[in-house]
């Protein structure tokens, strides 16, 4: 992902982390008023002294969102600043009030959208670099803002989630270091046991990397193509889901036994069927050409007067005599055919069936007893053997 695209996707989210709110400036009569987004802490504070059914509720909400006027920050004295701004808005223009109220509502909409990108941002390298820049949590987030009074508004849900996740990630890294030392001790006792543990860890780490990349790809698709495109993708279920855990592998086996193919399996099966059809057409054409050559050869032999060889029984003594008289020196080679046919016969010609496996009513995979045909008697086997000797 390009750096510019990363900044566009996580632009609002990084503002909600540092300084901790979204901000927009409005110029009115030569004055600049700066509004900020309100967190759950701000709404809790407003609910304590004004009710939702109060007609002045919206004016209080806009007043509380003003955090700077003409370059003077108002966060350090929030109570007095709130009252001064509220009185000014009550006497001011209603058009200005509606514009400021629309800006505040727009902040809420942008914050809801940021919820879809928070997990993806946690997996980005920029997120971890910012955490390390804070001394792995020894310094608070507001110390990076450089805004007087910003520490008084408290942590919003995005900041709390970000701090909690990075602390858990640090604990996970510490546990991995301890586990690496344990595996070294295991390798001194059993190298085979060490290889088994190391392979399991590599598989687990690769699965986690794939999962995190899928989350980041989903966030990127939402940003580029919108919410509607993301819903259509989930509805069509045309994403390739790779089985990682034992439960996912068992579920994939269960669906294969039942013949329930997903979109990816259907595409692969259709591609195999096209190859089988093309190979069948080539083999049919090859058989036709061989038949024509056989007829042509027989016609030439008839015209030359060469009799057609007939099969006749040969005794073991005659076979030994022929072998002694006409030895065939050198190595023997078994030629299967061209590479295309060899690959087709190995991978695509056999049609794999579930065999004795089935799925019961509870969805479990069970093994059915194999179906054994009744053995034929010796008389039946001899009767079915028909040897025809000409002459």
Burial class (CB in 10 A: 0-12, 13-18, 19+), 131: buried
pLDDT at 65: 94
Whether residue 66 contacts residue 59, with contact meaning beta carbons closer than 8 Å, is answered with: no
pLDDT at 128: 94
Q: How far is CA 286 from the centre of its chain?
A: 44
Give the H/E segment covering residue 363.
none
Q: How many CA atoms lie within 13 A of 108 on its CB side?
A: 11
Q: For 72, left (φ over 0), alpha (ψ -120 to 50), or beta?
A: beta
Please report, for residues 252, 344, 349, the alpha-carbon distance to residue 272 in angstroms, rounded to integers and kept in the order given: 19, 10, 10
Taking alpha carbons only, the member of 107, 12, 23 closest to residue 67 is 23
* Prediction pTM value: 0.63
Taking alpha carbons only, the member of 221, 214, 176, 218 closest to residue 198 is 176
Taking alpha carbons only, the member of 169, 228, 161 closest to residue 17 is 161
pLDDT at 385: 72
Q: Where do the structural domains in the chain lie, given as residue ranges?
A: 3-154, 164-247, 259-303
Q: Give the CA angle between residues 165, 170, 176 to the nearest 5°.
A: 125
Consecutive 10-residue runs of the chain (391 residues): their mean pLDDT? 75 93 91 93 88 86 93 88 90 90 94 94 94 92 90 92 95 92 89 89 91 92 80 54 66 73 76 86 87 82 63 79 69 58 76 67 67 72 69 53
């Amino acid at each position: 992902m390009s750096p510019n695209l990363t900044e566009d996707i996580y632009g609002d989210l990084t503002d909600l982390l540092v300084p901790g709110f979204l901000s927009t400036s409005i110029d009115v009569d030569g004055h600049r008023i700066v509004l900020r987004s309100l967190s759950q802490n701000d709404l809790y504070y407003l609910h304590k002294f004004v009710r939702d059914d109060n007609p002045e509720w919206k004016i209080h909400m806009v007043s509380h969102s003003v955090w700077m006027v003409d370059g003077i920050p108002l966060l350090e004295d929030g109570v007095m600043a709130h009252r001064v701004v509220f009185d000014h808005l009550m006497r001011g223009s209603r058009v200005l009030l509606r514009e400021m109220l629309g800006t505040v509502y727009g902040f809420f909409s942008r914050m809801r959208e940021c919820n879809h990108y928070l997990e993806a941002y946690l997996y980005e390298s920029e997120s971890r670099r910012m955490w390390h820049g804070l001394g792995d949590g020894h310094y608070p987030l507001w110390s990076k803002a450089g805004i007087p009074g910003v520490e008084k508004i408290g942590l919003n849900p995005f900041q709390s989630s970000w701090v909690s996740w990075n602390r858990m990630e640090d604990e996970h890294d510490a546990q991995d270091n301890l586990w690496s030392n344990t595996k070294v001790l295991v390798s001194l006792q059993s190298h085979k046991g060490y290889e088994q543990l190391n392979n399991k860890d590599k598989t687990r780490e690769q699965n986690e990397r794939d999962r995190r990349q899928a989350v980041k790809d989903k966030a990127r698709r939402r940003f580029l193509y919108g919410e509607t495109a993301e819903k259509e993708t989930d509805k069509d279920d045309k994403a390739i889901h790779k089985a990682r855990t034992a439960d996912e592998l068992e579920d994939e086996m269960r669906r294969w036994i039942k013949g329930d193919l997903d979109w990816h399996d259907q595409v692969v099966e259709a591609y195999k069927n096209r190859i089988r059809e093309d190979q069948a057409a080539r083999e049919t054409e090859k058989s036709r050409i061989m038949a024509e050559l056989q007829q042509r050869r027989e016609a030439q032999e008839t015209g030359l007067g060469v009799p057609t060889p007939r099969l006749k029984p040969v005794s073991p003594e005659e076979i030994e005599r022929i072998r002694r008289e006409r030895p065939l020196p050198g190595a023997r080679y078994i030629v299967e055919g061209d590479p295309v046919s060899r690959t087709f016969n190995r991978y695509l010609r056999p049609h794999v069936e579930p065999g004795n496996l089935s799925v019961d009513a509870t969805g479990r995979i069970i093994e059915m007893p194999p179906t054994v045909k009744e053995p034929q008697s010796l008389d039946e086997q001899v009767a079915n053997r028909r040897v025809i000797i000409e002459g």
